[in-house]
Amino acid sequence: MAEQKKTRIVILGGGFAGLHAAIHLDDTLARDPDVEITLVNRDNFFLFTPMLHEVAASDLDLTNIVNPVRKLLKRIDFFAGEVESINLERKLVTVSHGFDHHHHELPYDHLVIGLGSVTNFFNLPGLEQRALTMKSLGDAIHLRNRLIAHLEEADTECSAAVRRPLLTFVVAGGGFAGVETIAGINDFIREAVHFYTNLREDMLRVVLVHPGNVILLELGEKLGRYTEKKLAERGVEIRVNTRVIGVTDSGVQLSTGEQIESKALIWTAGTSPNPVLDSLPCVKERGRLKVDEMLRVPDWPGVGR
Ligand SMILES: Cc1cc2nc3c(=O)[nH]c(=O)nc-3n(C[C@H](O)[C@H](O)[C@H](O)COP(=O)(O)OP(=O)(O)OC[C@H]3O[C@@H](n4cnc5c(N)ncnc54)[C@H](O)[C@@H]3O)c2cc1C
């Protein structure tokens, strides 16, 4: 007797969306022996991004904000790999993995796309080469190391003109990522500076640059203003209605014409949809897949976001 073909569900992305879908299906559909579910993610851990700044600011050890995917899922297969492309017509996902990045094709009957977004520098001069980002675990560790390196270098620097940009930190973007990051790094460097004999707290400068009228608009104007007040009390300068328009070796240029002498720009002011979606022949809104109220992609049965 011919073996009955299993229904294959493939979930792309192990962030909040993809992992949550996988955890839900692990307890429901995955119990059905005729269903086979695979989660594909670049890393074999889930990263709790809202606490990323606490790793950058040395408040938490990195193991506190990562959770191994294999430990979280019982009945779902996990594939650690890079999603290269999706072929909706042939119902195939191409994934690369391994040290040689060889390719695998994963066929599906149902597809969940949860690949998140990527950092967008909007082609602003100098940003891609010089700005630090805050999206991955690697970014947070790199930022922490950079903060410490700046303090070390500034401590032994005799020229005030060279020291100043080393002790000036600019964060672009007043959303969750930018506000949490600036609050974390501000506390960190203000505490750490006391361990450096040649540095004083009044040498530090921390600036948040935000294009909108109020920061953290996601939480409403009242909470945004409250956050601005609290950050200012802790020594953070806030520039609203201002954009970063470029960065050079000597500093950060703002849309107001001001130039801030700084060697550290942290960019959290732009994301764009995952480039894997670019070639998909689906209806999109500003590059994002358009979905119905059930998160289904119109015209492509079995595909959801
Ligand atoms: C520093 C920071 C602080 C934040 N704070 C808050 C907060 O306090 N509150 C809040 O509501 N939101 C916050 N956010 C936003 C929140 O993290 C995002 O809204 C959320 O992560 C989006 O979930 P997602 O599943 O769509 O994407 P993601 O969480 O980005 O998940 C996408 C997953 O897909 C993987 N992936 C991407 N491309 C590929 C590929 N080609 N192949 C394989 N895998 C791939 C990624 O590695 C990732 O695991 C913060 C974000 C940051 C960066």
Q: Is 216 in the pocket of ligand 1 (CB under 6 A)?
A: no
Residues 61-111 have pLDDT tens digits of: 999 999 999 999 999 999 999 999 999 999 999 999 989 999 999 999 999
Q: How confident is the model at residue 305 (pLDDT cuts 50, 70, 90)?
A: confident
Q: Hey, which CATH number is domain 7-116+274-304, 3.40.50.300, 3.40.1110.10, 3.50.50.60, 3.30.365.10?
A: 3.50.50.60
Give residue for tokens 């989660």.
39
Residue identifier of the C-alpha nearest atom 30 of ligand 1: 116
Ligand 1, residue 276: give the atom nearest the CA: 41
Q: Do domains 7-116+274-304 and 127-270 have the same CATH topology?
A: yes
Q: How confident is the model at residue 4 (pLDDT cuts 50, 70, 90)?
A: low
Alpha-carbon distance values, 230 to 32, 57, 126, 184, 214 (Å):
52, 18, 31, 13, 13
161 CA distance to ligand 1 middle (Å) = 39
- Supply the Cα-derived Rg of the chain in whole angstroms: 23
Residues 6+ apart with CB under 8 A from 61: 55
**How confident is the model at residue 2, as a pLDDT?**
58
Q: Is 83 in the pocket of ligand 1 (CB under 6 A)?
A: yes
CA dihedral 282, 287, 293, 295 (to 10 degrees): 70
Residues 124-136 have pLDDT tens digits of: 999 999 999 999 9
May I ask the CATH class of domain 127-270?
Answer: alpha beta
Residue identifier of the C-alpha nearest atom 7 of ligand 1: 50
Please state the domain extents for the chain. 7-116+274-304, 127-270
Residue identifier of the C-alpha nearest atom 16 of ligand 1: 49
For a ligand 1 pocket test, name from 38, 42, 46, 49 the mutation site with the most ligand atoms within 8 angstroms of its C-beta: 49
In this prediction, residues 147-164 reach a mean pLDDT of 97
Give residue for tokens 């240029």.
253
1 pLDDT above the threshold of 90: no
Mean pLDDT score across all residues of the chain: 96
Residues 252-292 have pLDDT tens digits of: 999 999 999 999 999 999 999 999 999 999 999 988 999 99
DSSP state letter for 60: S
3 pLDDT above the threshold of 80: no
Ligand 1, residue 18: give the atom nearest the CA: 25
In this prediction, residues 210-223 reach a mean pLDDT of 96
